Amino acid sequence: METVTATAAATAPGPAGAPPGTAPPPAAQRPPGAGTAAGPAPAPDPGEPWRHAVVTAGSGFLGSHLCAALLARGTAVTCVDDFSTGTPENIAEFRGHPGFTLLHADVTEPFDTRRLPGETDLVLHLLTPPSPAGPPRLPPHIGGPGTRNALELARARGARFLLTSTAETHGGLRWHRRDERHRAGAHPAGPRRNRRHAEAEHTAPALTATGADLPGAGTGIVRLFPTYGPRMRGHDGPPVPTFIRQALAGEPLTVAGDGRRTHFLCHVDDAVRGILAAADADPPGPVDIGSPHAITELDLAGKIIALSGSPSTVRSAARPAGHPAARRPDLGRARGTLRWQPRVDTGDGLARTIAWYRERTAARAA
């Protein structure tokens, strides 16, 4: 892994057997994303990798998994991060990988595009804070200047731009299922809202939509619904890492109210597949990526206690004021255009996540 500052060069690997810095061959033409009257478009071919991807917030929970998936596909990756929401630990496994570069920089500051590889053809701008209930670690104005800077990078390189936003952009809906064409915005002043999250959730999708005519491969938006898996912080607020942390510590698992509140939980491996499918296929309009299967907090707590072998019990806690209703994703475009749907079983995904937390806890105690 090469680490550079905001003013140092990031070097991409060349073709197999060639020294670093050698220009790779042009990428193959990717399949179009639009469906036809005869049916949806074919699934994207993962065998046609992007040459070089820039991933903002690449050291975070989602970003680090995306970096790993891109590297596995043969794509060179530059992770742009200042560790305000991520950690060096999340990308430690990429050290020494010839295709990985860390650019330590604040995305809200303009990119020095001259210092990034000229062959950049994909920019993934990750605007998915762990939880509005967690600590307000988002940099100020990340939704405005941060997104503008990432869009400008894509424009300068003629690269495809993909924004990952959150289900919060649908606003305070009071029903579970909603149409993915719904465009209501998040309420910025609710008691659960953090102003930085609200600003980001309003501004970034609007800027991305207005940048749809970028020269090159255009722009896209993926709206992520609750996602879980290894590398989530245990104190960010979502129930999965919170319950696992409590179970491994032998503490009572705290469910909100009577525990009947439902969650639609998607494993991070499935989320990453969906994001990359959207990058490859260029679907028309925003795409929801998430699980259509509901689980109550009480059932989730019981599963985690059983899978972890914890002696913990379950206790009720007051439901946070202004807590939004769970939202079920509309997977129409994901299934039709991307041929995507979640694959990871909840029990298997939870077991893998618990194993990661247990290993991490043991390593820190050693």
148: CATH:
3.40.50.720
Q: How many angstroms separate the CA atoms of 203 and 126, rounded?
A: 14
Give 136-191 pLDDT, tens digit per residue.
445 545 567 788 889 889 988 889 999 998 875 444 444 444 454 544 444 444 44
Does the structure show a pLDDT above 80 at 203? no
Q: What domain count does the chain have? A: 1
Q: What is the pLDDT of residue 166?
A: 80
At 125, the pLDDT band (50, 70, 90 cuts) reads: very high
Residue 212 lies in a domain: yes
Residue 294 lies in a domain: no
pTM for the predicted model, two decimal places? 0.79
pLDDT higher for 304 or 20? 304
Residue 201 lies in a domain: yes
Residue 100 lies in a domain: yes
Give 224-256 pLDDT, tens digit per residue.
999 999 999 887 778 999 999 999 999 999 999
Q: What is the pLDDT of residue 324?
A: 59
Residue 60 lies in a domain: yes
Structural domain span for residue 50: 1-8+46-224
Q: In sequence order, what E strands does the chain have?
A: 2-5, 52-56, 76-81, 100-104, 122-126, 160-166, 219-224, 227-228, 253-256, 262-264, 266-267, 287-289, 294-296, 314-317
- What sections of the chain are H helices per DSSP? 61-72, 147-157, 195-210, 239-248, 268-281, 297-308, 332-336, 346-365
Does the structure show a pLDDT above 80 at 35? no
Residue 257 lies in a domain: no
Residue 127 lies in a domain: yes
Range in 120-129, 257-266, 285-294 the model is least confident about: 120-129
In the block, which residue shows the tokens 């994703």? 329
Residue 284 lies in a domain: no
Q: 328: which DSSP letter? A: B
Q: What is the pLDDT of residue 214?
A: 61
- Whose CA is closest to 28, among 75, 87, 84? 75
pLDDT higher for 39 or 166? 166
pLDDT higher for 253 or 24? 253
Q: What is the pLDDT of residue 364?
A: 85
Q: What is the pLDDT of residue 201?
A: 59
Kindly state the percentage of the chain with pLDDT values over 70.
67
Range in 78-87, 100-109, 186-195, 220-229 the model is least confident about: 186-195
Mean pLDDT of 250-263: 94
Q: How many angstroms separate the CA atoms of 59 and 130, rounded?
A: 13
- Whose CA is closest to 275, among 261, 290, 262? 290
Output the six-digit token pair for 12: 């991409």
When the pLDDT of each residue in the chain is averaged and rounded to a whole number, the result is 77
